[in-house]
Amino acid sequence: MVGTRLLGARAFAPALGRTQRGLAAHVVAKAAGGGKANKSKGKKDEGGPYTATVKVPVTEFSLRANSVVREPEIQSYWAQNRVYESLAETNTGEPYTLHDGPPYANGDLHTGHALNKILKDIINRYQLLRGRRARFVPGWDTHGLPIELKVLQGMKEAERRGLDTLGLRAKAREYALDQVDRQREQFKRWGAGRG
């Protein structure tokens, strides 16, 4: 132990990698009484059964993802700096257009939408990285039975009976356009939409 204290973490150097050497230095310094104790901000060093054996490095990296705050910041950075648009405009290769096969505009997004949109976004970004002028054209299916059924499910029985075909189409149009806006924002939150 005396030799280890004199040599510090370098005594372990041949057998350990860079990260382990840093941890070894921390352990040696703490054992010698000269190092910082590994404490979280504002918390007391609680002496649990593993305190002497488990050493966690002291770092500025947050232990929480804090996605509620970080996601909007990242999205606004991409939107303000127009990263996607500038790549699409400045690339000199041949044009590449991907027309998105439309999801029905009849509710919130789900895993099927995620798989579809993320795969298409990967293809588009790959084309951008190859130097092509990739363009993504989103689309929605805003007519048909699925949307009409959603509208009818949201209505009371008496209201449904008094509804004619043109009234149903008007309500379906209003509902579909609202869903397109909602889905567009949800796709942006996923990082897979520019529409």
Query: How much is the pTM?
Result: 0.57
Enumerate domains of the chain plus CATH numbers: 1-61 (no CATH), 67-190 (3.40.50.620)
Q: Is 13 or 66 the better-scoring residue by pLDDT? A: 66
Q: Could you report the per-residue pLDDT of 123-153, keeping only the tens digit for each? A: 988 998 899 988 888 888 887 888 899 999 9
SS3 state at 21 = helix
Q: Which residues pair with 136 in a beta bridge?
A: 98
Take residue 160 and report the two structure tokens written for it: 């449904």
Using only the alpha carbons of the chain, give its radius of gyration: 28
Strand blocks (E) in the chain = 95-99, 133-137
Take residue 101 and report the two structure tokens written for it: 């096969």
What is the arithmetic mean of pLDDT over 174-188? 89
Rounded CA separation 42/31 (Å):
23
85 within 8 A of 128, measured Cβ to Cβ: no
